[in-house]
Structure formats: structure tokens, C-alpha cells
Structure 1
Amino acid sequence: MWKSYLSTFLRNKKIGILGFGREGQSTYRLLRSLLPDARIIIFDKSVIPNNPLNIEQDSYCTIYTGPGYLQNINNCAVVVKSPGIPMKELKVIAFDGILTSQSDLFMKCFAGQIIAITGTKGKSTTSSLLSHTLKQAGKKVIFVGNIGIPPFDEIAKIQPDTLIVYEISSHQLECISASPHIAVLLNIFQEHLDHYDSYTDYQNAKFKIGQYQDKKDFFIYNADNDIIAKHISKEIPHGILLPFSEKTAFEKGCYIDKDSIHINYNGQSYIVSSTFERQLKGRHNLVNMAVVMLICKLLDINEADMFKAFACFKVLPHRLEWAGTYNGKIFYNDSIATIPEATIEAIKTFAEVDTLIAGGFDRNIDYDNFARFLSTSCVRNIVFTGDAGLRIYKLMENLNSGKKIYYNRHFDEAVKHAVLLTAENKICLLSPAAASYGTFNNFEERGKRFCDIISGTV
């Protein structure tokens, strides 16, 4: 079915692939296997490394790189955009063909089997936990998307009864014109402001996850998030609405109170104590687990299988990950925290954070509330780094909170300083509230560097 759809849609068209990283190469492999003689043009600002997929031997493929790489894009009837390419780059050259993406094409083929999860924070943990739980319950599952697996790479494994868990980012959502059967919107906060023309554009990309649903689909959303609640009050999705909340118990959906999780659906109420065995720390992760419970109820997953999966699910790297205890000092790596809200949740998770390391690449996020939170928090020492860290440091200075604050421009110096400041039997937490770019390629690289420094391997 999917082969027929893609072949029919793309046959006799000149196809552009915009961006030739992991997902762009995945798109090329699949399209070339389906359409051996199709004219394919690859556009990438960076020089493409030698011999990826032997494309230089493909006589039906043309490559444009470097400055002006988009000049010939209007020669294409269809362009498959990779998620890392900002839409604003296409606006400049006024592309007038069909713009699609791997996410869009995949969604059109398998929407009825897809559970897609998005949100500024929490989507990796929630989608990984859901995939793990469904597998524990004996379901056929594939896990794709922003976790690092392009969906086309797994497409041959899909059968009619396969459940597809799709961790999907705003970048992957912005070109879609089909929505998943179960859509989950965890939260929206300021993020990726360097990628979009405005914060509104980022929000609109997130909301596309449920834009094309019908009345048989499910839309699970965070009713406590002001941005989401405001949007839904103006534009109600077509799917069955299932809100989750820590403040309000809805007739349908999920309510998380202090001691228990309440799931209401189909006229039935299900209540579970929040003391069940789990390795995921923090209130925010309890909410993520409640969302997975709600999905499991929709899919009629056995409770015993669900709780067994929760008990053995391991924390993902760089997400409140215990990094070791050295010289009596306890270290946690939360490098994934690239926005203030994530760092606030990390601090709330632990009874005492003696030293916080924060800062990094500055994407013009509003840090006013974050600085006020830090000024009244339990954290004794705060070491800032990078341009974002400098901005937060100055905000803290103006608040005259009496907190012990420090600034080290370079990351390595900041970590070493934090190690010295931290008292024995206390926690030193890397939770930057800022992106890693400029110094590191990604948050994973930053987290690894932190672990290497505290362990004395560098």
C-alpha cells in the first residue's frame, strides 16, 4: 500500500531532497529503491562527505552545496525537506512546487497506526517509555522519529497490526498534512527561537500534530499549559479530546493529584497510587507516566504488563542521569535541559541541590522568571557559563538575592569550579536551561564532557 502511494505520488516528477543528513539520506535510499530512474536533486548547505550511499555513481542524481545551494530548487516539482532546514530559508527563494517531508509522507501512509508524541520537553522519555511498555505487553511495535531513527528506515518492518510510536519534533511537524490516530501534546515553552521567525510559528508547528485528525482519533493534551489551553479554546481539534492535568479532574482524560493518578474514559474511572515502583525521578516524569497510562488504557494494555514495564524502564542518558559520586560529592547530568522550565523541574526533583551549572548558547529565551525562581530556590551555589549564562547572571545580580553566583565563560572551567564549590554528600547538578550550540554539537556531547570532567578522565 505504502509503495503504491509513494510511487504514484512521485513518479515522473523531479524530486528534491533538502538537507542530506541522517533523514535526508534515509529519504534518498527509499526513493531510489522505489524509483530507480527518478531524477533526484540533493540540496545541502554543507559539503557532503565522500561516498555517502555512492551518490556520485548515481547518474540520475545532481548535488548542490555551499553558498547559493538553493538557487535551482524551483527546478523540482516536489521537495522533501529534512527537519533541520528552517522554513524561513525556503521563504527567501519563494519555492513554488510541492513541499513535503519524510514525516508527511510517512504519516499519509500509516496515520491510523501511529501514536505521535510531541512537546518542548518530555517527548523522548514519554515515547521511549510507551514503546518499552507496548513491547513488554507483547505488541508489535516500531519506534521512530526524533529519537534518531528516520521512519523510512523502519518502513519495511510495518505490518497491519504494528503500532508505530513516533517521537516527533516541531521541525518534523511543520510540513505535515496528515495527523496520527493518537496525538499527544505534552507542553509548549519557548524553544528553537533561532529556527523560527517567531514564537508563534513554533507554536503553530506543534499544533499541527492534531490539525488533520477526525472524530475517530484521539488528542491528548496538557490542559495546564497556558499556550495549549488558549489555542484549544479558539480552535478545537476534531479528535476526541483527552486532557491531562494536575489541577482539574475532567470527565474524560487524566488527573494527577498529590498521591494518585485518575484516568477517566468511556464512562469508567481508573485510580492508581503514585507510589508504584519506578526509576524515573521527579513530578514531571510522574505526569509523563500518567500520559502513558492513558494511552495504554486506550489500547487495552494489561495493567500488570504496564507496571512491570514501568519498574524496569531505565532513565535515558542526559536526563536527570546519575553521573557518579566522587570524593563524597554526588553528580547528576541533565544536559537535555535546554529551557528554564526543564531546569526548574530538575531542581524540584531533588531535596537539596548544592551547586547548579547553568547557561550555554543564547537563543533569546526569556529568563526573568527563571532568575526569580533561582533567587528563592534551595540551590546554594550557581555557576553560570556561556552567553546565556552571562545574561542570567546579570539578572540574578539585579535581584540582590544574596545567592552565591559565579560566572565562568568556558564550560570546562565552570564544571571544575562547581566541583570545588560542592559540599560532601551534596548534589552538583548540570541542568543548563540553554542550548549547547557554539561549544558543543549537541546536548549529548555536552553531557559526556561533564561526565568526563567530574570523573577525572580529562
Structure 2
Amino acid sequence: MNNKLEQFKNSIRNKRVAVLGIGISNIPLIKYLVKSGVNVTAFDKNTSENLSDAFSELNELPVRYSLGSDYLEKLEGFDVIFRTPGMRPDLPQLLNAVEKGAELTSEMEVFISLCPAQIFAVTGSDGKTTTTTLIYKILTEEGYNCWLGGNIGTPLLSKIDKVKETDKVVLELSSFQLMTIGNCPSVSVITNISPNHLDVHKSLNEYIDAKKNIFINQTENDKLILNYDNDITRGFGSEAKGKCVYFSRLNKVDTGVIFKENKIVVKNENEEIEIVDAESIIIPGVHNIENYMAAAAATIDYVKPETIKKIAVSFNGVEHRIELVRELNGIKFYNSSIDSSPSRTIAALSTFKNKVILISGGKDKGIPYDSIGQIIAEKVKCLLLIGATAPKIEEALCNYINQTDSECEVKIIHCNTYEEVVSRAYEEAAPGDCIILSPASTSFDMFKNFEHRGNTFKELVNKLK
């Protein structure tokens, strides 16, 4: 029996609980709390008309609602407040509620504090989902009963009654989830860090500090996996309280996971264990080699090397990440809607040997685009732009060409809708070409999320004749 869980249920059962946000991640939380006998009020900025799907799932439960644009003004009198991922914890209304005695928490914070199983967690600016999925698949292949959650999979607090001490839990954690997390996973992985989400975080330092929360309170028995090739993450090693293990594709670390003679190798003090040849990895790109290195570093103490290799040579990739949608008249269409930052688009374009037709642009989240100019000049023959960041992306390309006196020619087309951008891309393509959606921007200008954007792209591509 999970004694901590029983104590939590007993302590919260007689309290007034507010759940902020009636979205995908919080509906299972609301159901679980109500099932546990908790008095729940669900808050959301939307009106009831916009929440019909959520209401249909919750309509038979004794849940109170507080809706509308002023929903955060109605938090008085609550004992526990669950904030939704992405909501800053220092909003004035939340600070005011905390000052008056409320406990501010989140589904993920509570789950980590109560989970009886060993937790592997991954964060970073790029590669989180793929690395998390790889760790989950490797551990599952080895025979462990595994749970996948955080930013990926099902919200796990609603499943915690079924989690056993002998299980393994694998989490993808965003900077927003990590901002207030105090309990650290047993095995923490940081894939890399580059400027990101500066439309929500007040500064790059705040963003970095949020990422550090994945390991800052680890113990000497815990393990931290860091990317040695990233200037920011390399520096975290001196702050590690547990065992620090580096992975490096470009450098030769004394111990850790290295890239040697085109192979991923685990290097210990006394031996080198070959994991897999890079040519055998199905999903393309050097960034995916790094994702496998991170996953190998995280799992090597718990699985056989052959298990890691088996996943490497069989895993086809994660949806919306350089996902092959279809081939039509010799033209391949790739969906990489997950690419919500310039660094992700740079990594995606680097996987292609020949020049591609790139669809890019979306919502502006306040990050610089200077770095994307060179890769577009080198890897793109036709650039189709859409959304608020279109001028920034075009400016980055033009600045690079002007500053380097480059003779490259990239055809630039501006579009207003996704129907137009897919149609124009197809018109510009010839047999042998690749068309890739890699927005380098968030999706919230036109879509609910990157999945919605990617699915819309795939639907439009599959309608082409």
C-alpha cells in the first residue's frame, strides 16, 4: 500500500480544491479528485459554450464551476489550488490566494511527491519527447512495467493507485511544469538548452533555472544525464548532487556515452560497450543520434545493451517529428509540426542531404531568429512563409545572404492559409523533392496546439491529387 498516497487522500478530502483549467490534462485530475471524495471547483477562462466537450465528460460529477474572463478573481476561500501547465505561478491572483493560506500545486508536483516507483524524467529545449519515448520503449522492452506521462501520455496522478514500487515511470517535463517542482526524479535528463518560451518566461535565466529544478534537489543516490556539447548544460555538472553522466557526440568524455567511429558507445572506467551503429538508426538526423545517446545514458544501468540496440533499429519515430506523411508523384511530404523554435527547425533541416521546400512560420514567442538564416540558405530552395514570424524568418535569411555575400537563391512565397501554403508547395515541387512543415514557431495563432497544426497539414497533404 502507498502510505503517502493514503495520507494525501485523507488530508485533501475535507478541503476546498480549485483546479485551474478544464483542458485535456486536467479533466482526468478532476475526475480522480472527485472520485477520491474531494470538493472540487473547476475554473476556466472560457464560457460553458466553449467547454461543451469537457462538460460532457464531467456532467455527472458533483463539480462546481467558475468560468469567464475574470475566473482568477474568484479564488478566495480555497485550501488547495492546482494550476494548469503553462500558467505562471506568480500571477497576482495566485500570489494573493497563497498569502491567504492556499497551497499552490499542480498535478505533476503531487504525482512526483507521491509516486512509489522509480522516476526517469527528461527536459530540454529540443528532443524531449523523442528521448522520453525512447527511454520508455527501452525499459518496456527490457520487461519493466512502465508508465509514460508528463507532457506526453496520460496525466498520471489519475493512475497513481495502480503504480507499483517495482514499476518504472518515464516523464517528459516542460519548463512550465518544472518552475515549482521541489521533488526530483531519480534519473534526470537534460537534452540541451537554447532560448525558448521567452513569451512566457521573464528571461533566459528564469527559463534555465526552471530546467535546473529537474535535478537541483537530487540526492547522492540519484543520477543526472547532461549534454556535454551544449555550453549551458555542460556547466550544470558542478551543481549535481548525485552521479553526473555526460553524453557527447562531438567530444571525448572520460566516462559516459560517446560517439566513436560512427557508433554510440558507453564508456566506463574499465571498458567500452558498443550500443549501435548510427547507420542502423531508423529515424534520421544527428539530433536523433544525440537523443539515443541520452536514452542510453539514462537506461544502461537497468537494461542490456542489446535492448537499447533493438529499439534503435526498429523505432520509426514520434508523430509530428520529421514524420513522413506520404509520397505523391515522387514528392515526399514530411510533418515536423513539433518544431516550435529555430533550433528545432535547424535540426530538422540538417537531416536532409538535398535542398528541400520548407513551410515555416507561426506565432511569435519573442525569441531571436538570426540563427535560422544560414541553414535556410544552405538547405532550402523554396521557402513558404505563413504567420506572424514570417517577416523574422525572411529577415534572418536575407541578413545571412547579405552579410556573407552568398550567391544562393531561395524563392520566397508568403501565404495566408494552410490550404494555400500546401497547394503552393506542391506546385513548386518536382519529382525527387521533399516538402517539410517545420514552423520554427508556436502554433497558437491558428491552432490549438502543434498536434492540431500537424494533423491539419497531414489532412491537406492527403487530399492532394
Q: Same fold (TM over 0.5)?
A: yes
CA distance in 2, matches of 1:261, 1:207: 26
Q: 1:55 to 1:367 in 2, by over 3 A?
A: same
Report what 1:417 is aligned to. 424
Give the counterpart of 1:407 among 404, 409, 413.
413
Residue identity in the other structure for 1:298: D
Write out per-residue CA displacement over residues 195-242 of structure 1, whole angstroms, 9 at most, x where no aligned residue.
222332222221111121100000111122222234555xx0212111
Report what 2:35 is aligned to. 33
CA contact (8 A) 1:196 1:202 kept: yes
Give the counterpart of 1:18 among 12, 17, 20.
20
Moved more, 437-446 or 175-184: 437-446
SS of the aligned residue for 2:436 comes to strand
Report what 1:239 is aligned to. 242
CA distance in 1, matches of 2:298, 2:366: 35
Report what 1:391 is aligned to. 392
C-alpha displacement at 1:130, in angstroms?
A: 1.6
1:178 lines up with 2:179 in the alignment = no
**Where do residues 215-364 of structure 1 align in structure 2 (5 Å cutoff)?**
215-233=220-238, 236-257=239-260, 259-265=262-268, 267-275=270-278, 277-299=280-302, 301-364=303-366
CA contact (8 A) 2:17 2:81 kept: yes
Tell me the TM-score normalized by structure 1: 0.91
Give the counterpart of 1:439 among 446, 449, 457.
446
C-alpha displacement at 1:184, in angstroms?
A: 0.6
**Where do residues 109-148 of structure 1 align in structure 2 (5 Å cutoff)?**
109-110=114-115, 113-148=118-153
Report what 1:163 is aligned to. 168
Tell me the TM-score normalized by structure 2: 0.90
Report what 2:383 is aligned to. 382
CA distance in 2, matches of 1:14, 1:116: 31
C-alpha displacement at 1:53, in angstroms?
A: 4.6
C-alpha displacement at 1:56, in angstroms?
A: 7.0
SS of the aligned residue for 1:132 comes to helix
Write out per-residue CA displacement over residues 263-290 of structure 1, whole angstroms, 9 at most, x where no aligned residue.
2346543234524633211111111111
**RMSD of aligned C-alpha atoms?**
2.3
SS of the aligned residue for 2:131 comes to helix
CA contact (8 A) 2:16 2:40 kept: yes
CA distance in 1, matches of 2:324, 2:58: 42
Q: 1:5 to 1:204 in 2, by over 3 A?
A: farther
Residue identity in the other structure for 2:39: R
SS of the aligned residue for 2:251 comes to coil
CA distance in 2, matches of 1:452, 1:23: 25
SS of the aligned residue for 2:447 comes to coil
Residue identity in the other structure for 1:43: F
C-alpha displacement at 1:104, in angstroms?
A: 0.9
Moved more, 194-203 or 362-371: 194-203
SS of the aligned residue for 2:153 comes to coil
CA distance in 1, matches of 2:325, 2:260: 31
Report what 1:449 is aligned to. 456
Moved more, 115-124 or 147-156: 147-156
CA distance in 1, matches of 2:298, 2:463: 43
Residue identity in the other structure for 2:304: N
CA contact (8 A) 2:360 2:439 kept: yes
Write out per-residue CA displacement over residues 163-216 of structure 1, whole angstroms, 9 at most, x where no aligned residue.
111112222222211000000111122222222223322222211111211000
Q: 1:55 to 1:290 in 2, by over 3 A?
A: same
Residue identity in the other structure for 1:45: K
Write out per-residue CA displacement over residues 124-162 of structure 1, whole angstroms, 9 at most, x where no aligned residue.
111112211221111111111211310123223211100
Residue identity in the other structure for 1:407: I
Write out per-residue CA displacement over residues 89-108 of structure 1, whole angstroms, 9 at most, x where no aligned residue.
35675332221111111111
CA contact (8 A) 1:367 1:392 kept: yes
The aligned length equals: 450
CA contact (8 A) 2:361 2:385 kept: yes
CA contact (8 A) 2:278 2:289 kept: no
SS of the aligned residue for 1:332 comes to strand
Q: What are the ranges of 5 or more consecutive residues in structure 2 without an aligned counterpart?
A: none
Report what 2:45 is aligned to. 45
SS of the aligned residue for 1:71 comes to helix
CA distance in 2, matches of 1:155, 1:93: 29
CA contact (8 A) 1:116 1:182 kept: yes
1:193 lines up with 2:195 in the alignment = no
Q: 1:232 to 1:304 in 2, by over 3 A?
A: closer
SS of the aligned residue for 2:454 comes to helix
CA distance in 2, matches of 1:95, 1:407: 50
CA contact (8 A) 2:31 2:58 kept: no
Q: 1:54 to 1:346 in 2, by over 3 A?
A: closer
Write out per-residue CA displacement over residues 334-392 of structure 1, whole angstroms, 9 at most, x where no aligned residue.
111111111111111111133111111111220112113323x1322222221111221
Task: State the 4+ residue runs in structure 1 displaced beyond 6 angstroms.
Answer: none
CA contact (8 A) 2:384 2:415 kept: no
C-alpha displacement at 1:433, in angstroms?
A: 0.9
Percent sequence identity over aligned pairs: 28
CA distance in 1, matches of 2:261, 2:74: 58
CA contact (8 A) 2:117 2:165 kept: no
Report what 1:372 is aligned to. 374
C-alpha displacement at 1:6, in angstroms?
A: 1.5
CA distance in 1, matches of 2:228, 2:7: 37
CA contact (8 A) 1:111 1:180 kept: no
SS of the aligned residue for 1:22 comes to coil
CA distance in 2, matches of 1:134, 1:383: 41
CA distance in 1, matches of 2:175, 2:298: 21
